Structure 1
Amino acid sequence: MRNTIRTLEKHKQEGRPITCLTAYDASFARLLDASDIDVILVGDSLGMVVQGHETTLPVTIEHMVYHLEAVFRGTRRVMLMADLPFLGDRDVLTALEQGGALMRAGAQMVKVECNGGHTELVRRLAGSGIPVCAHLGLTPQAVHRLGGFRVQGREAAAAERMQAEARALEAAGAQCLLLESVPEVLATRISHSAGVPVIGIGASPDCDGQILVLQDVIGLTPKPPRFARDFMADADSLAGAVAAFAEAVRSRAFPESGVHTFG
């Protein structure tokens, strides 16, 4: 039986860290499904990892559905989350259509890169039966507006705004939050105050779970981000690297404060 949002909620309640990795095809999906991984994200990071682009912006809903269907066919146990691609949130109708396409392709939750203007869109998605993970902090689809892949929420006003956005999105129906490249203290504060699971990437060891791009974990990324760790360096197989990641997250050895996080 597959993991569900209830699995993640139970983990949060019990203090058991949630393990998440990306996958974009059936082969890697089978590897993660056989490992101690709770959630697979079919991310629009495929634009950079698989397609070779510099950003996630060229990824379309057709690309997302294609890769999600492949991952779905390779899994039986893990929960599947998928990204709403660039401009999929341009209006409620588009978000409903594209979110519905992802759900029909096998997603159990749709991740939306959010800001304060997304509460009504999240409310409509959730009200239509589409579970939402609200992504805050560094949102890669906004890379050009942000001026690059930069830590978000360092200034006091920005930190207060992000906390307010997290509360508003949860109230609107988001059943999960994802914090990317957020100062550790801020990420910890949001995670402890949220009633829903909070997954971090470059955020805090105190988040309810951790996610990385699989290719970063197995040493295939030439210049991995600071918040990543090559678990393949000390493993003798791909399965061993994935297992090491899961164990490090569950023991809270990863991420290491000040090494994989930001002040």
Structure 2
Amino acid sequence: MASYADDLSLAHVLADTADSISMARFRALDLHVEAKPDLTPVSDADTAVEKAIRATLARTRSRDAVLGEEYGQTEAAAGIGTRRWVIDPIDGTKNFIRGVPVWATLIALMEGDTPVVGLVSAPALGRRWWAATGHGAFAGKHTAAATPIRVSGVSRLSDASFCYSDLMGWEESGRLAPMLDIMRQTWRNRAYGDFYGYMLLAEGALEAMVEPELSLWDVAALVPIVTEAGGRFTDLTGRPGPGGGSAVATNGRLHTEVLERLSSPGIRAL
């Protein structure tokens, strides 16, 4: 098994840089915000963070490709290789620009189509999560205060805490009825949104997090953290990994049932 310890260490360095930039702009009175062509917001913090991460990667990993939300794909200096860094400079920009502290920088390293390193840094929450293939999943303020994390052992949907993105997306996807069915059957449901639900899942605080539509940079960093913590991560068709444009992440024990329910147009009883 390949070791990604050096890459994970670099991801922490990148996150340190990102945190210093984003926290300096969080709740800044002169924060500049524009609308992108898809009408989603982008702030000067988003662009500054991605530029800084790209500059460091250009110096330290020049043979690797880079994909970022704000500046797209940059091929490696030596041509297209199998390694690619995937960056979301600020996941939760809408929270960021409104002063809500639930936002994070997402950093992933992919080998081909597989994320092998993932780091999520949420400096306004004072917390960071990270994992690499074969190294386990951890959380803490920094590496010196790391705690191993693990998904829960809950095995019944009626005992589960269920997390989701906003219901508008599920209505647009045509899956609102099965979503409401799951919500009725679970012990508790909340829409924490963005990266946060996945990190709570990895810590064992909830059992499922689902989203109907995602880009690669939204999800690549989350996959290693969830899976190294013992969970499962697929798209809505059940295909493992981040490339399907949707996400179903669970503690593993409930995965098949959640997938089946989201694929069913009708309402089932327990």
> TM-score category by the smaller chain?
under 0.3
- Bigger fraction of residues in strand: 2
Higher Rg of the two aligned structures: 2
- Bigger fraction of residues in helix: 1
TM-score under structure 1 length normalisation = 0.28
Tell me: higher relative CO, structure 1 or 2? Use CA pairs within 8 A at least 6 residues apart: 1
